[in-house]
Amino acid sequence: ASNQISSDSQVNTILDNSCFQCHSSEKSAPWYASISPSYLFGAKSARRVLNFSNWRDYDGDQKSAALGNIAKSVASGSMPPGDYTVFDGSARLNNDDKQVLLKWATVPAH
Tell me: the pLDDT tens digits for 47-94? Answer: 899 999 999 999 999 999 999 999 999 999 999 999 999 988 899 999
Question: How much is the pLDDT for 100?
Answer: 97
pTM: 0.85
Strands (E), the chain: none
Q: Residue 1's pLDDT band (boundaries 50, 70, 90)?
A: very low
67 three-state secondary structure: helix
What is the average per-residue pLDDT within 97-105? 97
3-state class (DSSP) for residue 77:
coil
- What's the farthest any 2 CA atoms get from each other in the chain? 38
